[in-house]
């Protein structure tokens, strides 16, 4: 059985101190697809953090994970302390805090949360209605999503990006988790467009500010390198296979 790192047992004060480590390795336990680990992997790539993929041996590991599901991430600090992180959105928020992707103050943090939650609602709709649709309903569901769900998202989000100065960011003048999550949404919708479906309504012409935010995130050097990697291509392929997409 592939063994998992043993989380360090210590007081919250000691563990809290360990979260300040800036030379950690992040060991990711997740299945071989993008799924619920995509944003976590993206944040780690963006931050240029040291990462490792742990071997999944699911039935034998399930009982060792905090919620009996994946992803789980183990942060191993330079002094060997192991912090166990579970639940995808909690992991993403922990990493965003650690890598300064939550704005510059409490109010900006709240603004980032607003955009994250809004984008998540749209992402969930895409996942339940399109990705998980029966194969013979997929084109119809995708077209409905493009005309009934995305226009509202686009209108509201373009307006917020404009209000922030059309600088490619939702909040302030630097990248936050909100920019990264929206980039993930746009890329996922473009990537998982069923054959025969209408054109996806995201483009440089139709959604210039969302497109600018996406380009700003995707052109970040360490993230761009991750997206070109062989592992990333494998995750693309297995994501499509998993949902019998092609």
Ligand X SMILES: N[C@@H](CCC(=O)N[C@@H](CS)C(=O)NCC(=O)O)C(=O)O
Stretch of 48-56, 69-77, 94-102, 167-175 lying at the interface with ligand X (CB under 6 A): 69-77
Q: Does 70 bind ligand X (CB under 6 A)?
A: yes
Tell me, by CB under 6 A, how many residues bind ligand X. Answer: 9
Helical (H) or strand (E) element with 25: strand 25-29
- Chain position carrying tokens 């409490």: 106
Query: Residue 164 — left, alpha, or beta (φ > 0 → left; ψ -120 to 50 → alpha)?
Result: alpha
By CB under 6 A, residue 239 contacts ligand X: no
Question: Distance (Å, rounded) from C-alpha 225 to C-alpha 227?
Answer: 5
| 131 part of the interface to ligand X, by CB under 6 A | no
Q: Which x/- pattern over 24-43 shows residues binding ligand X (rule: CB under 6 A)?
A: -----------xx-------
Q: For the CB of residue 68, give the shortest distance to ligand X in the complex, in Å.
A: 7
Using rule CB under 6 A, residue 118 touches ligand X = no
Choose one: 65-73, 160-168, 187-195, 229-237; the region binding ligand X (CB under 6 A).
Answer: 65-73
Answer for which of 53, 87, 120, 140 binds ligand X (CB under 6 A) is 87
Shortest distance (Å) from residue 70 CB to ligand X: 4
Nearest to 149 by CA among 179, 127, 181: 127
In the set 10, 69, 204, 224, which binds ligand X (CB under 6 A)?
Answer: 69
Q: What are the angstrom distances between the C-alpha of 172 and each of 78, 115, 152, 175?
A: 32, 13, 23, 8
């Amino acid at each position: 059985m592939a063994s998992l790192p043993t989380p360090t047992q210590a007081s919250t004060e000691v563990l809290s101190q360990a979260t300040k480590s800036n030379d950690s390795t992040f060991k990711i336990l997740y299945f071989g697809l993008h799924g619920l680990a995509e944003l976590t992997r993206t944040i780690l790539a963006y931050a240029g953090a040291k990462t490792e993929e742990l071997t999944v041996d699911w039935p034998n590991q399930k009982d060792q994970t905090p919620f009996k599901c994946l992803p789980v991430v183990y942060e191993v600090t330079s002094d060997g302390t192991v912090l166990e992180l579970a639940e995808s959105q909690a992991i993403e928020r922990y990493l965003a805090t650690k890598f300064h992707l939550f704005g510059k103050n409490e109010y900006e943090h709240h603004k980032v949360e607003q955009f994250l939650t809004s984008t998540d609602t749209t992402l969930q709709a895409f996942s339940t209605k399109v990705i998980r649709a029966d194969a013979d309903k997929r084109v119809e569901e995708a077209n409905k999503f493009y005309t009934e769900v995305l226009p509202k998202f686009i209108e509201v989000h373009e307006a917020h990006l404009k209000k922030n100065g059309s600088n490619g960011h939702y909040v302030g003048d630097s990248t936050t988790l909100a920019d990264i999550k929206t980039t993930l949404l746009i890329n996922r919708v473009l990537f998982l467009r069923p054959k025969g479906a209408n054109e996806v309504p995201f483009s440089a012409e139709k959604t210039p500010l969302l497109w600018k935010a996406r380009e700003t995130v995707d052109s970040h050097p360490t993230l761009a390198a991750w997206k070109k990697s062989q592992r990333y291509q494998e995750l693309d392929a297995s994501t499509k296979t998993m949902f019998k997409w092609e």
